[in-house]
Structure 1
Amino acid sequence: MTSSTFSRDELAAAFATFEATVDRAAQTRDWDPWVDQYTPDVTYVEHAAGTMRGREEVRPWIWRTMESFPGSYMTSFPSLWTVIDEATGRIICELDNPMRDPGDGSVISATNISILTYAGDGLWRRQEDVYNPLRFVKATLKWCRKAAELGTLPAEADTWMKQYGGGE
């Protein structure tokens, strides 16, 4: 464990800025400001995609993930709860990943745990996302089936559903 020199207030403020930037990225579909919150040498551990090192390795992954189905149908990434660990300079949180309304007002989502390590000056030096990918597949299949039932299933979602075993 490393000792942090960041106060609780600084960590909370930096995370509030992080959340606001991620929310703005989700609304505008411009993912660069999200990536720009990381240090140039960030380590990003994504359990399904692997470990990325540096902003310029994270950037194309975030763009590819968020601009293709199902990421392109996720509308926001709000934290459901947050722990501020001053001793390590970390924020631990559960993030929700709700998808667009399939057409009947349904809210379908999956969550992940994220651990962010602060570097100072509004930048994060590490992020680790912990989740069960099968929960995301299950939620996405549920969304696809609901959209198909309602006649709102887009072609890219139909293709995804067929690829992942949901297109009987």
Structure 2
Amino acid sequence: MADFDRSEVEESFRNYVMTGLVYEDWEAWANLFTDDATYTDHYYGRFTGPQEITRFLEGTMGFAPHVYTVLVWYVIDGNRIVYKAINRADNPEPGAAPIDFPSFQIIEYAGDGKWRSEEDIWTVREMVAFSKEYSRALKAFPQTLEEKLSRKDWGPWVEWARPEPGHVAKPSWLTRDGFTPISSIAEFDFGVRTH
């Protein structure tokens, strides 16, 4: 397949980042993928099409409402984009630095504002250390759900990849009737486990 115009790929990527990573409308974000798109997370498995991608993202992000995603850098190579993100939680301890772990993503553009695939790469050990540090801080400084949804530090990196001042996070799972977060890999009854 021939490469799409770089300006189209970048404009579509900006929409992808703002819809999902910044405004956390995971259903609208999943609908930016083609019907046969594959989303591969090396820990959780492979998910196909917008419906499975929505269930995966809302389920896992709903279990971790304190986590938001900050774009650090991205590289466009034809129809492919590689980007680094920081999975971040605002520290429950007042004035303390955010708690983070990195991830890398590879996405493939399909045209018409849609994506054909995403591959997420992160290290389980770093995620476990992140979770332990956050849990220790939360135990010492308990928070309400509203406080966990704070998104205070978008970093100094990609200037356009952040919400407008005063934005209040309202992830798509927050108002979904009957929503049940996914707390462990054993709870997945969809997608394909890859390990």
Report the TM-score when normalising by structure 2. 0.68
Q: Which residue of 1 aligns with 2:23?
A: 24
- Larger RCO: 1 or 2 (CA < 8 Å, sep 6+): 2
Structure-1 separation of matches of 2:15 and 2:70: 12
CA-CA distance at 1:4 after TM superposition:
3.4
Matches within 5 A, 1:4-43: 4-22=2-20, 23-25=22-24, 30-43=25-38
Structure-2 separation of matches of 1:96 and 1:130: 12
Alignment match of 2:85 (pick from 67, 86, 95): 95
SS at match of 1:110: strand
Matches within 5 A, 1:1-168: 3-22=1-20, 23-25=22-24, 30-68=25-63, 71-75=64-68, 77-86=69-78, 89-105=79-95, 106-149=97-140, 151-152=141-142
Percent identical pairs in the alignment equals 28
SS at match of 2:18: helix
- Structure 1 alignment gaps of length 5 or more: 158-162, 164-168
| Cα distance change, pair 153–137 in 1 and its aligned pair in 2 (3 A) | farther
Q: How many residues align?
A: 145
| Cα distance change, pair 44–129 in 1 and its aligned pair in 2 (3 A) | same
- Structure 2 alignment gaps of length 5 or more: 149-183, 185-195
SS at match of 1:44: strand
Structure-2 separation of matches of 1:72 and 1:4: 40
SS at match of 2:99: coil
Report the TM-score when normalising by structure 1. 0.79
Give the counterpart letter for 1:138 in structure 2.
Answer: A
